[in-house]
Amino acid sequence: MLGKILLTLTVIGIAYLVIRQRQVTEAMATTKAKDKGRASTKHSPSSNSPAAALHENSLAADQPGLSQDLRVASYLFLVFMVGIGAALYYYRWQDDHQVITVNLHSADQDTPVSYQVYKFQLRDRTFTTVDGRQVTVASSERMEIIGLND
């Protein structure tokens, strides 16, 4: 589900950048066409001169370009990814620190022995209880886990 959301947001972001680039390109072309019309009527310096190049650069600096949009998009993407990473880390930590109940059924006892265990400390045949006791399950014992969602 999260992958689908990320893919959708990526496609929306790319579409925005493409449309924005087209608008900037069209605006630059319109500005250049207007400047050429003005230059021919005012007898401005030749287009190869440094003054003309400086004038074109100042016009390009006035228009927000693709680089500015990419910078904003990259910062937003970075913030989004750090936020997603932090959220996933928190949910993983929260899931690992869930307290579950482990019942050990032995052949020689009628009632099972119960232990409270953090989920991340549960192994195949051993576990550490909440109060710090290390318990190893014998091969003749049966281990029942209560509260494990997965």
Contacts of 34 by beta carbon, 8 Å cutoff, 6+ apart: none
Residue 116 is which amino acid?
Q
pLDDT at 55: 54
The 8-class DSSP code of residue 148 comes to: -
Residue 60 has pLDDT above 90, yes or no: no
pLDDT at 31: 83
Global pTM exceeds 0.75: no
pLDDT at 68: 80
Residue 50 backbone dihedrals phi, psi, to 5 degrees: -65, -30
pLDDT at 105: 95
pLDDT at 114: 96
Looking at residues 73-98, what average pLDDT do you find? 91
Contacts of 119 by beta carbon, 8 Å cutoff, 6+ apart: 95, 96, 97, 98, 99, 100, 148
Residue 50 has pLDDT above 80, yes or no: no
The predicted-structure confidence for 13-34, as pLDDT tens digits, reads as follows: 888 888 888 888 888 888 887 7
The predicted-structure confidence for 105-150, as pLDDT tens digits, reads as follows: 998 899 999 999 999 999 999 999 999 999 999 999 999 999 887 5
Where is pLDDT greater, at 93 or 67? 93
Nearest to 105 by CA among 58, 138, 71: 138
Confirm if 102 and 147 have CB atoms less than 8 A apart.
Answer: no
Three-state secondary structure call for residue 4: helix
